Amino acid sequence: MNPAGKPGKSGSLMPVEVALARLLEMADASRIVERERLPLARVEGRVLADDLVSTLDLPPWPNSAMDGYALRAADWTGEPLVVSQKVFAGQAPDALMPGTCARIFTGAPVPAGADCVEMQENADVQADERVRFTETLTPGQNIRAQGQETTVGELILPAGTRLGPIEQGLAASLGCAELDVIRKVRVAVLSTGDELVEPGQALGPGQIYNSNRVLLCSWLQRMGCEVIDAGILPDDLVTTRARLGELKDVDLILSTGGVSVGEADFLGIALREEGELSLWKLAIKPGKPLTFGHFRGVPVIGLPGNPASTLVTFALLARPYLLRLQGVKQVEPLKVQVPAGFDWPIAGNRREYLRARLENGRAIIYKNQSSGVLRSAAWADGLVEVPEHRTLTAGDSVYFIALSEVLS
Nearer to Mg ion, 68 or 257 (CB): 257
Name the residue type at position 168. Answer: Q
Per rule CB under 5 A, is residue 258 in the interface with Mg ion? yes
Of 292-321, binders to ligand AMP (CB under 6 A) are: 304-307
Instruction: Tell me how far apart the alpha carbons of residues 289 and 283 are, in angstroms, rounded to a whole number.
Output: 9
Where do the DSSP E strands lie in 176-240?
Answer: 178-182, 186-192, 196-197, 208-209, 226-233
| Cis before 60? omega within 30 | no
Per rule CB under 5 A, is residue 224 in the interface with Mg ion? no
For residue 395, the minimal CB distance to ligand AMP (Å) is 35
Instruction: Tell me how far apart the alpha carbons of residues 306 and 194 are, in angstroms, rounded to a whole number.
Output: 14
Q: How many CB atoms lie within 10 A of CB 122?
A: 15
116-119 and 68-71 beta bridge pairing: antiparallel
Nearer to Mg ion, 303 or 318 (CB): 303
Per rule CB under 6 A, is residue 240 in the interface with ligand AMP? no
For residue 208, the minimal CB distance to ligand AMP (Å) is 6
Residue 195 contact partner, candidates Mg ion, ligand AMP, none, CB within 5 to 8 A by sort of partner: ligand AMP
Q: How many CB atoms lie within 10 A of CB 28?
A: 11
Per rule CB under 6 A, is residue 171 in the interface with ligand AMP? no
Rg over CA atoms, the chain: 30
Q: Pick one of 64, 100, 256, 291: the residue that binds ligand AMP (CB under 6 A).
A: 256
Per rule CB under 6 A, is residue 106 in the interface with ligand AMP? no
Of 188-217, binders to ligand AMP (CB under 6 A) are: 191-193, 195-196, 208, 210-213
Per rule CB under 6 A, is residue 260 in the interface with ligand AMP? yes
Q: How many CB atoms lie within 10 A of CB 186?
A: 16
Is residue 257 a contact partner of residue 305, using CB atoms and an 8 Å limit? Answer: yes
Per rule CB under 5 A, is residue 307 in the interface with Mg ion? no
Q: Pick one of 258, 268, 299, 341: the residue that binds ligand AMP (CB under 6 A).
A: 258
Of 175-204, binders to Mg ion (CB under 5 A) are: 193
Q: Pick one of 262, 296, 347, 404: the residue that binds ligand AMP (CB under 6 A).
A: 262
Nearer to ligand AMP, 209 or 379 (CB): 209
Is the Cα torsion angle 394, 17, 218, 258 positive or negative in sign?
negative
DSSP category for residue 318:
I
- Annotate 91-108 with b (16+ C-beta within 10 A) or e (fewer): eebeebeeebbbbbbbbb
Q: Pick one of 27, 259, 315, 322: the residue that binds ligand AMP (CB under 6 A).
A: 259
Nearer to ligand AMP, 241 or 362 (CB): 241
Burial class (CB in 10 A: 0-12, 13-18, 19+), 254: buried
Name the residue type at position 94. Answer: D
For residue 36, the minimal CB distance to ligand AMP (Å) is 32
For residue 253, the minimal CB distance to Mg ion (Å) is 16
Is residue 147 a contact partner of residue 69, using CB atoms and an 8 Å limit? Answer: no
Nearer to Mg ion, 196 or 386 (CB): 196
Instruction: Give the bridge partners for 385, in sequence order.
Output: 353, 399
CB under 6 A: which stretch of 29-37, 81-89, 187-195, 339-347 binds ligand AMP?
A: 187-195
Residue ranges binding ligand AMP (CB under 6 A): 191-193, 195-196, 208, 210-213, 256-260, 262, 304-307
Residue ranges binding Mg ion (CB under 5 A): 193, 257-258
